[in-house]
Structures are given as structure tokens and as C-alpha cells.
Amino acid sequence: MGQQRRTLPLGAELLHRPRVAQLIEQGLKQPLLMVTAAPGYGKTHEMASYLAGADVRLGWMRVTRMDSLTHHFWESLLHTLRPEFPAMAGKMAEIGFPGNLSAMKRILRIASEEIDGGALAVLVLDDFDLMENEEILHLLEAWSGAGLENCCLVLMGRSDACMKSIARAIPGTAARLTTEQLKFTRDEMRARFRGLHIQLPREDEARLYRESDGWPLMLDLLARQMKRGAGGAAPALSRDLLLLQKMFDKESYSCYPPEMRRVLLRLSLPGDIVLSLVERLEEETGLAIRPVLQAHMYVTYESERGRFTFQNMYREFLQGRQSLLSAEERRRTYCAAGDCAMEREELYHAAEYYEQGECFDGMLEAAVRLFEKYASRQALRAEYLLEKIRKLPESVTRNNYLAGSIRACMHIQMLQPEEAMAVLAEMENSLLAEDSPLARERLGEVYERMAGVQMLLHREIFVDYYKKAGQYLPGGAGKRSRDTMRFMNTSVLSVQDYEPGSLRRMEQKLHEGITDIVRVENGAEGFDYLFSTEAAYHTLDLDRAEYMARCAIEAAMGGRQYDIVCNALLVLARVDCMRGDYQSLCGHIETIRRYAADWNRWETDEMMRYAVNWFALAMDDSRDISSWIVTAESEIGSKMPLAIGREELLYAEYLLRIEKYEKMIAFLDNVKDWFMAKGWIERVNANVLLAAAYGRMDKHRQAAELLEEAYAMTVHNGIIAPFVERGRDMCSLLEQVSAAGTCTLDAAWVREVSEKAAACQKQMDQMRSLHAQGTKRPPISAVRLTERETETLHYLSQGLTREEIAEALCISVNTVKTYIKSIYSKLGAVNRADAVRLGLSAGLIR
């Protein structure tokens, strides 16, 4: 532990309270311990005091408001874990923040492997009530709900509002330590005063405890003041913060010279006080600041991180006096803090500090570096960078290529193509006027982005922009890697309009321009064939779809475009579904699994996740559906609109299968506009799914309207696969709308789709039968547990630890582990929470 232990926020002369230590010890036996108390109740000191002497492997992280930014939190977390768990932190750093369930599962698997065995692993997140990021809360919810053995997550803050969702992930197994439990008892108050050699008359002691209500900070400050000779308890004790502020003022502020007071006020401006900032202020003021901070009662120094930290209430006291600083002092302090943050690669901090100090050149530099570092990551908030760019004055952004580039890219990710095109057109005009070698290179990059926007708008002119880009970028876009993944969560099918021949024209344009596309993008080999593959499949030209898919795979393998390979394999699997070839279908899904394992990239993991769950739904095998699918709705808020696509359609399919029609309709109504802006074929699929749901609910008018809209979008280009894939639902829908007598669908089209949908349903029924025959696992209702296993499962549902279960059953902990392993195997469970859920549903426990 060594260095990490020395950074614990321990207080001098801290009263040892066995009662609280016992509560903490019991709480750490659960996977989650929530410590919530108002300021001054000693939650941090009590936890640190206990852990300093406990046999645990510890990571202690103090949360700041900046940690609500996803990647800032991830970097802080890795820094916290690295001293005690270097291997785990290294592996987690390679994966990055888990913005999807596949990555999250890998993180949890790594944590389980690294934490298993050895002393109890404790991760403390202090000041957790500052956390406002839903995506981070979802990660911690998954961490808590994973049932990691020998591990406890401790969340500490002023309130438990943001902890409740995490606690819900593990019902019955979360421990709590509250304000009431952290109050001083009369005996503890008496012991604290005696420890400082203060003897209070019984009447003053009673009044002191009554007026203070056991508030540890007030009692401690009063005791210290009395020890310095202030005399007994004040005549009118109060819990008002004014009393504390007077104490802070007297003992830790007014006692310093005026110049040092101003320094303390300046240091309270940024969230963290890094050593390099202190050194800058020492150089500026000529004062010896470090010795003062090191001796300060309300300042903690973390030597490993090179940071000083004010005690929360003392910092609030200082911030209440910041009006004493001049505007120039505030500006210089924030700019210096921004410089220090940039040196440490703390880019979110830097952007915030520069903004506060109105150092706009620095703010732009921080935004650029943030964009370059995180632009390819789904969790980056486009709104954040756009907000920063908008706040820059025109004098900074006028004709600034980097500012324009960020704005354009963020508008694209937000599915605002017209806004992106307007920004790019401004940049084009500016660069044409400049006419320098650097301007010409940047102009090529602008045309490349314009091509992407035109493709997003489904306009055939995108090929012309790629040709322009190729003229200015003969060597390709220098910042693009050869194995950049481009197509993961959407169909590549695109048409400019719904008129006859649009699909064929777009396909021809793409094949004409593929050479320029590959050269400019430094990749995308096989993209043209993949487009043809999807076009052929959607028109049910299955032989051509198979041929084009194999061409796409061959071309993409040569260019390391693994996303195109997996997409082509997925189309081959859908072809197999139409043909009823179960063995070939299984082979293609297994190939995607194998490629994902061999390539070991998060992009191919996402493709594999989608393929496996699509197969499970197609085979109507709910037991093979991954847990991520049921949380897809909660992940929407953390996704860029550009990242919303077929995973969401798969979730809607899942809701349709489990007959959650109202929920499915509400979900698709919330996201279907993104489909229209991003990929019209997804909008067609959304309409068909919605029509199926309304049809099952006997709402025939709504079903007919959705069906007719989807028909109008596809009929002139021969696209029928989305309708045929619906099988029995589509046959029923077409029968309903035809019987209503108001059908505007072409009669020949209705006959063709009805016949092919019926044939498709027949093939699916046969394949599902084969799949069920090959499934050896018994249904959950047939699972039988031994008496001991049933007792163990009951105790698991009550939140008992393995040690407590062993004691209750009078057996060894290793035997309990064996029972738990057997329970998991029989139920097909992945963790404690899953086993309890399955046991309850099967009636094995009550």
C-alpha cells in the first residue's frame, strides 16, 4: 500500500471511534457501501482512519465536478487504481472508457480476474454527489451489479440522490452509513474533550450536546478553541455556519499576512491545487507558499499526484471572500491554472480554466487537443466542444481552420448536416483565398468532410467531392489510419430520392468513385461491394448478394477494413435466413465471433455483439440474448445521434418479441427521426416494426399509415426485404389493410410480399426447430437444486457474503464457493444478481 496509504485524508488527533469502525467493517462486506452525511460529520476522516489500519487493497479517488466529463473520470480512475492494481489499470487503459456493453463486460471480466484472491479490494469515490454523468453512473451500476467477489465499492457524499440507481442494481446488498450514525454520541463527545484535557461541567456538557446535535465538526472546533483558552462553552451555541466561518477566519485566515490571504483566495479558484500552480504563484508573489499549505490544518497534500486539496468547508469559506480579489488577479490565476492543466494533459480542466480567465487562445488550443484525442470516441460530448467554440470571440475563430474543423465534425456527429455544410463552405472560401501549400492540404480535408456530409444527405454528388479531395490530397488524408473502422452500427444503403432507378444510380456512382474514396480515406476497400451486397439483399436478389458479399470480404481483408468484413458476413447470414440454411447461418455467426476474437478491437466486438444477439432473436432463443440489449434504452442518452442505428432497431425487435408494444412504440418514436437523418433504410425498418406492433394491438389505421409510408420509400427501387423479414406479422398486416378496403398498396406488390413473407416464416420456423433441437440446456423451470444449494441461493438473495453463508450453514468458505459455482452453472447465471433473479422466476426461492 505504502505511497497510496500516505495520501489518505487523515486528520490530526482524530478520535478513534470503535462504534463507527464496526459499522464500516460491516458495510465493507457488501459489494456497495454508501456513506452519506452533511459536511463536517467526519465521513471522510472516519473512512480513511479505518482503512489506514485495515488489511485491504485500496484505491481512493476524490471526485471533482470535472469528473462528470467521461474521459476525465476514466483517467482519474485509472490513476487511482494503478498503484494497487497496475495490471488491471493497464488493461483497462487499453480498452478505454466502456461506452458500450461489450467493452463494459471486458472491463468487468478483467476486474474479476485481477481482484479475485488476496485481501479485500476497496474502491472509494469521495465527494461522489458531485457526479452528474449518467454514463458513469451506468458504469458503476454495472460494476456493483456484477457481483464481484472480494470487492467493495464505497461511495461517499452529502446526499445519496445519485447513488440510488447504483443501489438498485444490487437490491438488498447495499450497505449505508448515514448522518445519524456519524453523529457523536454523548460518550464520544466526552472522550473528545477529555482527549484535549478539557473538563466540562455537566450542565455545559448537556447544553453543548443538545445545541450541537452531535455535529462532529462543530464540537471539534469548539474543543480546539477552548483548549486555546477561549473559556468554556459559549453562552449561546449555534449550528449556524456563521460560527464556523468566524472560527475559520480567526484560526486559519486572519492569522496570515494580507499577501498570503490573497494567495489562499486565489488558490481556492481552481478545483485542484497542483504543485506547479503553487510554484508559479511563488515565483509571481515571492512568497513561500508551500510551507504554509503543508502546515495548514485544512489542507491535505497528495505527494504522489503533486496536489494540495482544501477541506471542502474551508474552501467554501474562502470562495465566499473571492470578491476581495481584483479581476486581474482572478484572470491571472485561472490562466496559470490552465497552463498547468495543459502541461499535465488535463484538457477538460484546461478548457474550463482558460474560459474562466478569458484566455481564449488557450481555450481554443485545449479544445483542439481534446478533439484530436477523443474525436473518434463515442462518449465524447459534441455539445461540450461546440459550446466551447461558440464562446470564443470572433477575433479568435475568424478564418481559424481548427475552430471550423471542430465545429463541422461536431455538427456531423450531432446529425446536423446542413449546419456542417455551412461551416465547411465558409472554410472552403477562406482557404481558396489563402492559396498556400498548407491551405491546399486543408482544402482537401474540407472536401473530404463535404463528401461525408453529402453521403449523410444521400446525395450522389458526394463522389464529386471525393474527386476534389483527391486532387488536393494525392497521398490521402494524413491523419487517417489504414485500419480505421467506418461502418458499424448502420446500413450503408443510401438513395438520393425514392424515384425509380435511384438505388442503381447511387450504386454506379459509388463504384465509379471508389478509387478516389479509398485513396482519400486511406482505406474503405470493399465499401462499393458492400453497398452492392446490401442493395442486392434488400431487393431479394440473393445470389447476387452472396457474390457481392464475398467480393466485399476479399477486398476488405486486403485493406484491413474489418468492419466491412463483418458487415458482409452479417448480410450472408441474413441471406441464409431467407434460404432456410441453418448450418450455413451458424457458420457465418461463428466466423464473426472468431474474427472479433482474432482482431481484438472494440469495433469488431460491437459487430460481434450485434450479430450474436440478432441470431438469438432470429432463432427466438431468449436465453442467448445478452444483457446489454435490455439496457439499450438507457444507453441512448450517452450516444451521439450519429451512433444511433441498428442496435436500437434490434432492441425494438426484442421489445416486439416480448410483447412490450407500448414501450417499443414510445422508444422508436423517440429515435426514428435520427434514422431518417442518418439512414433512410433504418427508418423503413422502424416503420415496419411499428406497423407490426400496431397490428398486434388491433390499431389497424396506424399500422396502415406506417406501412404505406414505408412502401412509398421503397417500391420504386424494388426493395422488399424489410417487409418479407417480418414473416407472419407482415402476412397478417397485409391481410388487415386489404380487408379494410382503403389500401393504397399495389395489389401485385401485396401478393408478392405476402407469398415471400409466408415462405420466409416457414423457413424461420424450421430453423428455430433445428436450433431448439440442438440446444441441450433444460428450461429454467426444469432446474433442480440440492437442499444445500437452495439454502445458499436463499442466503445470496438476502445479501450475505460467502463468509456469512459459511457461518450460517456451518461449512467452509470453499464449500460455499463450490455451491455458488454449481448454482451459476445450473441456472446459466453470470453473477449473484442474475442467479437471484433466475431463482426467483423459477420459484426456487421466495
Q: How far is CA 176 from CA 51, 157, 180, 187, 521, in A?
A: 17, 12, 11, 23, 54
Return all residues near 461 (Cβ < 8 A) that are at least 6 apart.
454
The three cell numbers locating residue 661: 408494444
Higher pLDDT among residues 316 and 602, named by residue: 316
* Residue-wise pLDDT tens digits, 235-263: 444 444 566 677 788 888 999 999 999 99
DSSP 36: E
Neighbour count for residue 508 (Cβ, 10 Å): 15
Proportion of the chain above pLDDT 70, given as a percent? 87
Query: How much is the pLDDT for 327?
Result: 93
DSSP 642: G
* Residue-wise pLDDT tens digits, 112-170: 888 877 889 999 999 888 888 777 888 888 888 777 888 999 999 887 776 776 776 56
- 475: phi then psi, degrees, rounded to nearest 5: -95, 5
Where would I find the H helices in 253-326? 258-267, 275-285, 289-295, 312-319
CB 399 within 8 A of CB 377: no
- Alpha-carbon span 554 to 534, nearest angstrom: 16
* Residue-wise pLDDT tens digits, 417-455: 899 999 999 999 989 988 888 889 889 989 999 998 998
Neighbour count for residue 319 (Cβ, 10 Å): 13
* Residue-wise pLDDT tens digits, 36-80: 887 778 888 889 889 988 999 999 998 887 788 877 889 889 999
**With 70 as the cut, is the pLDDT of residue 686 above it?**
yes
Neighbour count for residue 475 (Cβ, 10 Å): 10
Distance of CA 319 to the CA centre of its chain: 32
**Which amino acid, 320?**
G
* Residue-wise pLDDT tens digits, 259-311: 999 999 999 998 778 889 999 999 999 999 999 988 887 887 776 677 888 87
Residue 635: band (very low, low, confident or very high) from pLDDT cuts 50, 70, 90: low
Return all residues near 831 (Cβ < 8 A) that are at least 6 apart.
145, 146, 147, 824
List the one residue out of 585, 519, 506, 595 whose CA is nearest residue 557.
595
Least trusted range by pLDDT, from 105-114, 371-380, 663-672: 371-380
Return all residues near 523 (Cβ < 8 A) that are at least 6 apart.
480, 481, 482, 483, 484, 486, 559, 560, 561
**Three-class DSSP category at 42:** coil
- 623: phi then psi, degrees, rounded to nearest 5: -75, -15
- Alpha-carbon span 367 to 286, nearest angstrom: 33
* Residue-wise pLDDT tens digits, 542-581: 999 999 998 999 898 888 888 899 999 999 999 999 999 8
Query: How much is the pLDDT for 482?
Result: 57
Q: How far is CA 547 from CA 269, 515, 641, in A?
A: 64, 21, 33
